[in-house]
């Protein structure tokens, strides 16, 4: 093993080499001067997994990705790719390909030149280069563009070429830094689907940075939600959406975002003013005892309305404050228990501002957080 | 209802008055002789004449014979065109004892110019690239020192450089002080601050992600410089070449201080011809000699004027 020669090698490294993991990050620290951007970050990415790093602007997603790529030197910690310690390895020797937000195509080279640049640097034979370029061009359907310069391509075509540049390298791990965010909405949706298709065809490990939740939810096998250089939760999209680990994640995921009501948890019943929510069917992380401050989170789309209210476990009433019809559905803003409360209803629901709206709540779909630690209960 | 509406539109299309009243349409008409235009072009013409007049005087004087010059008015066109002054300026004019004209100075200048331009631009290119894309600990300090160097007046360094050239030359066993090699070194060093700044700012304006992509593609320090950065740097290279060619060609001070009579550059020799005390002043020869000396920078400007402006803008705005 190469890593036994590494002077920083610790006994813990051995577990890093165990199979199934494509990228492993151990206690990664990164500082820019005095600013700590990443702190003691640990992350395991499975073989063939599509992992999305999601977080608000400035939380360190790009920094983490650049560390994995070897474009930034970490202050401390280790990075393994396919069990090999690549912490001190050059970007080109890590077995990664990277796609950038601004495409970063070499402007003076043709598409073919862009695709083959890395292969030429790695001294591949001309036949091999030709073979790989035409394969990538075929996969991405850019064969007719091969002899054009990047300046003569549309945004979507450029991004395809940028993906092709990673593709020809035949690497184990693909790194994407917000590859679709410079494209318009329709093209973004198209390319998103194409990326998903590409992943199911190639089965490479992909690490994908975005701050678009739709991309994250649709593409990811697992999502890592980041905040302030730390990973808040690493789980499947379903888990993140339905069982957010803390209030930040709950608030971050979902649009419009989750409604929060702050009150008291007595036994297994949440109370706020005259609202009482017995948490029947709720999947407790740890069964509560006694009384404590708690926050209940209810997604706007999980609020029961219309005829179904009659059969709901808990019923209440909300006064519609603002009604936003959005075609496919209607968003109603109101107040419940003295706090702002959003409800997502069907697109053809007839609601007027000022209406008193009977609603139902299903506690089994709600989330409960401790009001002090903000962790899921 | 719909019938009436249709009737109206048909009527509107037929009625010419209505169409004009519709409001403006298509390209806006422009007046050639508006007040702004007269003022603008008037000023430009006056300024252009002001700058071109001396050139005109020099040109006509250089093709007149001495009698005509003595007799006539400087602005008058030549009655009889002669190229004798040009030939004399190039091949026969005397400075002190030798009478080879400007030709020797021209070739000296060429021998100074080419290595100085190549050397200074190469060094500055690599330093500018390093300072923008491969920052190291202390690179900002290094850069600041370099820039401060640009603001120290030349005169202050004149004599210290004489000593440096002499001593280093003695140490290495080559003649630096008083030779073309020494002058080439001096030009290269003095070109460094401004050129490095120019290249650094230009490279800083090239997106970071492009540089990262090249690193992922396995290109190293030189690979990225030559294969990615240089092909994108034509405008700034042209600017650097123009700055250096004109600066070095027009240099007088360093030439006179750091070389000897047999290796004087063209400017110094021009001065010696024009200011020579023996004999009568041959204005036509002096004018021809001056024009000859100015030809190289003029040529460079004409050939690359457009690229020059574009490159200056690119280097100045970003970074
Ligand atoms: N070169 C640098 N020097 C100092 N601080 C930096 C540098 N690069 C990034 N940072 C800081 O590190 C933090 C994380 O930056 P990063 O680019 O990783 O954010 P991000 O999550 O990718 O954000 P975005 O979604 O806007 O791209 C930010 O607060 C940023 O200001
Ligand atoms: Mg980023």
pLDDT at A343 over 60: yes
**Assigned domain for B87 exists:** no
C-beta neighbour count of B75 within 10 angstroms: 10
**Assigned domain for A354 exists:** yes
**Assigned domain for A166 exists:** yes
Put simply, whether B166 touches A (Cβ < 8 Å) is no
Chain B residues within an 8 Å CB radius of A121: 217-219, 223
Same domain (yes/no): B156, B69? no
3 state SS of B214: helix
**Assigned domain for B270 exists:** yes
CA distance B128 to chain A (A): 20
- pLDDT tens track for A235-268: 999 999 999 999 999 999 998 999 999 999 998 8
CA–CA gap between residue A329 and residue A340 (Å, rounded): 19
Same domain (yes/no): A56, A188? yes
Minimal CA–CA distance to A54: which of A333, A244, A330, A260?
A244
pLDDT at A85 over 60: yes
Same domain (yes/no): B147, B113? yes
Mean pLDDT of A38-54: 95
Same domain (yes/no): A102, A125? yes
Same domain (yes/no): B133, B280? yes
Last residue of a domain, one of A212, A244, A276: A244
Put simply, whether B213 touches A (Cβ < 8 Å) is yes
- Identify the CATH number of the domain in which residue A200 sits: 3.40.50.300
Contact B223 A121 (CB under 8 A): yes
**Assigned domain for B50 exists:** yes
Q: What is the mean pLDDT of chain A?
A: 90
- pLDDT tens track for B112-152: 999 999 999 999 999 999 999 998 889 999 999 988 888 88
For the entire predicted model, the pTM comes to 0.82
C-beta neighbour count of B281 within 10 angstroms: 13
> Which residue has its alpha carbon closest to ligand 1 atom 25?
A57
Around ion ligand 2, residues with a beta carbon closer than 5 Å are A 62
Same domain (yes/no): B150, B71? no
Ligand nearest to the CA of B135: 1
Chain B residues within an 8 Å CB radius of A117: 214, 217, 219, 227
CA angle at residue A156 from A155 to A159, to 5 degrees? 85
H-run or E-run covering A324: strand A314-325
Query: Best mutation site among B133, B136, B218, B232 for testing chain A: the one with the most A CBs within 10 Å?
Result: B218
Q: Which residue has the higher pLDDT, B167 or B20?
A: B167
pLDDT at B7 over 60: no
| B64 upstream amide cis, omega within 30 of 0 | no
CA–CA gap between residue B103 and residue B94 (Å, rounded): 11
Put simply, whether A97 touches B (Cβ < 8 Å) is yes
Mean pLDDT of B60-87: 87
Last residue of a domain, one of B82, B115, B147: B82
Residues near A60 by Cβ (< 8 Å), separated by ≥ 6? A30, A37, A38, A226, A228, A229
Query: Best mutation site among B213, B219, B231 for testing chain A: the one with the most A CBs within 10 Å?
Result: B213
Q: Is A106 exposed, middle or buried (0-12, 13-18, 19+ CB in 10 A)?
A: buried
Mean pLDDT of B22-45: 85
Q: Is A132 exposed, middle or buried (0-12, 13-18, 19+ CB in 10 A)?
A: buried
Let me know: does B207 contact B273? Beta carbons within 8 Å.
no
Same domain (yes/no): A177, A123? yes
- pLDDT tens track for A160-210: 999 999 999 989 999 999 999 988 888 899 999 999 999 999 999 999 999
Same domain (yes/no): A36, A72? yes
Q: What is the mean pLDDT of chain B?
A: 85
pLDDT at B2 over 80: no
| Domain boundaries, position A78 | 17-244
Q: Give the pLDDT score at B317.
A: 40
Would you tell me which residues 248-307 of chain A have a C-beta closer than 8 angstroms to some C-beta of chain B?
A: none
**Assigned domain for A315 exists:** yes
Around B117, how many Cα atoms within 13 Å sit in the side-chain half-sphere?
20
> Which residue has its alpha carbon closest to ligand 1 atom 3?
A32
Residue A185 beta carbon below 6 angstroms from any ligand 1 atom: no
The interface pTM score, or ipTM, of the predicted complex is: 0.85
pLDDT over 90 percentage in chain B: 45
CA distance B215 to chain A (A): 6
Q: Give the pLDDT score at A13.
A: 41
Put simply, whether A33 touches B (Cβ < 8 Å) is no
| Domain boundaries, position B163 | 103-315
pLDDT range class, residue B318, cuts 50, 70, 90: very low
pLDDT at B260 over 70: yes
Structural domain tally of chain B? 2
- pLDDT tens track for A146-155: 999 999 999 8
pLDDT at B19 over 70: no
pLDDT range class, residue B80, cuts 50, 70, 90: confident
Q: Give the pLDDT score at B179.
A: 87
Q: Give the pLDDT score at B254.
A: 93
Mean pLDDT of B18-25: 70
Around A73, how many Cα atoms within 13 Å sit in the side-chain half-sphere?
6
> Which residue has its alpha carbon closest to ligand 1 atom 30?
A58
Q: Give the pLDDT score at B315.
A: 46
CA–CA gap between residue A324 and residue B287 (Å, rounded): 83
3 state SS of B8: helix
Strand A21-32 and strand A76-81: pairing? antiparallel
CA–CA gap between residue B313 and residue B310 (Å, rounded): 5
Contact B213 A97 (CB under 8 A): no
Chain B residues within an 8 Å CB radius of A165: 213, 217
- pLDDT tens track for B270-299: 998 888 766 778 888 899 999 999 998 888
pLDDT over 70 percentage in chain B: 87
| Nearest neighbour of B216 by CB, restricted to A91, A106, A108 | A91
Last residue of a domain, one of A199, A219, A244: A244
The structure tokens 């519609």 sit at: A320
pLDDT range class, residue B20, cuts 50, 70, 90: low
Last residue of a domain, one of B49, B82, B115: B82
Last residue of a domain, one of B82, B115, B149: B82
Tell whether the torsion through CA atoms of B63, B65, B66 and B67 is positive or negative: negative
Minimal CA–CA distance to A282: which of A238, A252, A242?
A242
- Identify the CATH number of the domain in which residue B269 sits: 1.10.3720.10
**Assigned domain for B311 exists:** yes
pLDDT at B249 over 60: yes
Put simply, whether B138 touches A (Cβ < 8 Å) is no
Let me know: does B209 contact A101? Beta carbons within 8 Å.
yes
Residue A35 beta carbon below 6 angstroms from any ligand 1 atom: yes
The atom number, within ligand 1, closest to the CA of A66 reads 18
Tell whether the torsion through CA atoms of B96, B97, B100 and B104 is positive or negative: negative
Minimal CA–CA distance to A71: which of B139, B319, B214?
B214
- As given in the structure block, the two tokens for residue A369 are 């957080």
A17-21, A138-142, B147-151: which range is least confident on average?
A17-21
Q: Give the pLDDT score at A5.
A: 39
Structural domain tally of chain A? 2
Put simply, whether B135 touches A (Cβ < 8 Å) is no
- Phi first, then psi, for residue A82 (nearest 5°) are 55, 40
DSSP line for A259-307:
EEEEEEEETTEEEETTEEEE-TT---SS---SEEEEEEEE-GGGSB-GG
The structure tokens 């690119």 sit at: B314
Q: Give the pLDDT score at A112.
A: 96
Same domain (yes/no): B45, B184? no
Chain A residues within an 8 Å CB radius of B215: 70-71, 90-92
Same domain (yes/no): B41, B114? no
**Assigned domain for B90 exists:** no
């Amino acid at each position: 093993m190469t890593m036994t020669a590494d002077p920083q090698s610790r006994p813990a490294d051995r577990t890093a080499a165990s199979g199934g993991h494509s990228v492993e990050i151990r206690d990664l620290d990164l500082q820019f001067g005095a600013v700590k951007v990443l702190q003691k970050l640990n992350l395991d990415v499975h073989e063939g997994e599509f992992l999305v790093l999601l977080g608000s602007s400035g939380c360190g997603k790009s920094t983490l990705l650049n560390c994995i790529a070897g474009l930034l030197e970490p202050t401390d910690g280790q990075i393994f790719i396919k069990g090999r310690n690549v912490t001190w390895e050059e970007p080109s020797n890590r077995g990664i390909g990277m796609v950038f937000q601004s495409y970063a195509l070499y402007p003076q080279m043709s598409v073919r030149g862009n695709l083959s640049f890395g292969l030429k640097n790695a001294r591949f034979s001309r036949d091999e280069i030709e073979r790989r370029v035409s394969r990538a061009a075929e996969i991405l359907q850019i064969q007719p563009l091969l002899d054009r310069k990047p300046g003569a391509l549309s945004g979507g075509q450029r991004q395809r070429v940028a993906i092709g540049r990673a593709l020809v390298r035949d690497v184990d791990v693909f790194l994407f830094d917000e590859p679709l965010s410079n494209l318009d909405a329709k093209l973004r949706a198209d390319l998103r689907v194409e990326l998903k298709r590409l992943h199911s065809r190639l089965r490479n490990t992909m690490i994908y940075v975005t701050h678009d939740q739709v991309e994250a939810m649709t593409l990811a096998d697992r999502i890592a939600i980041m905040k302030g250089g730390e990973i808040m939760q690493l789980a499947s999209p379903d888990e993140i959406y339905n069982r957010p680990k803390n209030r930040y994640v709950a608030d971050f995921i979902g649009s419009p975002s989750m409604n929060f009501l702050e009150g008291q948890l007595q036994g297994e019943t949440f109370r706020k003013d005259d609202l009482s929510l017995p948490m029947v069917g709720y999947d407790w992380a740890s069964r509560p005892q006694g009384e404590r401050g708690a926050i209940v989170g209810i997604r706007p789309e999980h609020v029961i309305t219309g005829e179904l209210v009659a059969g709901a476990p808990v019923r209440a009433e909300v006064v519609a404050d603002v009604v936003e019809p959005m075609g496919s559905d209607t968003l109603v803003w109101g107040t419940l228990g003295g706090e702002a409360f959003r409800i997502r209803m069907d697109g053809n629901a007839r609601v007027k501002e000022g209406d008193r709206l009977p609603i139902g709540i299903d506690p089994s779909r709600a989330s409960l957080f401790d009001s002090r630690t903000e962790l899921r209960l | 209802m719909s019938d009436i509406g249709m009737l109206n539109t048909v009527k509107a299309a037929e009625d010419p008055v209505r169409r004009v009243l519709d409001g403006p349409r298509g390209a806006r008409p422009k007046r050639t002789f508006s007040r702004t235009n007269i003022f603008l072009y008037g000023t430009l013409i006056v300024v252009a004449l002001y700058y071109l007049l001396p050139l005109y005087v020099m040109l006509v004087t250089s093709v007149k014979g001495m009698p005509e010059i003595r007799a006539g008015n400087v602005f008058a066109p030549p009655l009889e065109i002669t190229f004798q002054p040009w030939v004399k300026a190039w091949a026969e004019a005397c400075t002190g004892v030798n009478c080879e004209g400007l030709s020797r100075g021209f070739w000296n200048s060429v021998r100074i110019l080419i290595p100085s331009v190549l050397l200074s631009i190469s060094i500055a290119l690599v330093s500018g690239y390093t300072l923008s894309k491969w920052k190291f600990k202390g690179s900002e300090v290094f850069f600041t020192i370099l820039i401060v160097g640009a603001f120290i007046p030349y005169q202050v360094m004149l004599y210290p450089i004489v000593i440096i050239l002499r001593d280093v030359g003695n140490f290495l066993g080559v003649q630096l002080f008083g030779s073309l090699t020494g002058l080439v070194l001096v030009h290269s060093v003095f070109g460094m601050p401004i050129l490095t700044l120019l290249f650094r700012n230009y490279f800083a304006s090239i997106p970071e992600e492009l540089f990262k992509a090249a690193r992922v593609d396995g290109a190293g320090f030189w690979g990225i410089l030559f294969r990615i950065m240089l092909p994108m740097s034509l405008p700034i290279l042209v600017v650097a070449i123009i700055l250096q060619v004109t600066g070095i060609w027009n240099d007088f001070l360093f030439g006179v201080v750091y070389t000897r009579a047999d290796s004087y550059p063209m400017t110094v020799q021009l001065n010696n011809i024009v200011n020579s005390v023996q004999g009568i002043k041959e204005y036509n020869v002096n004018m021809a000699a001056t024009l000859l000396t100015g030809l190289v920078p003029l040529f460079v400007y004409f050939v690359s004027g457009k690229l020059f402006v574009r490159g200056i803008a690119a280097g100045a705005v970003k970074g």
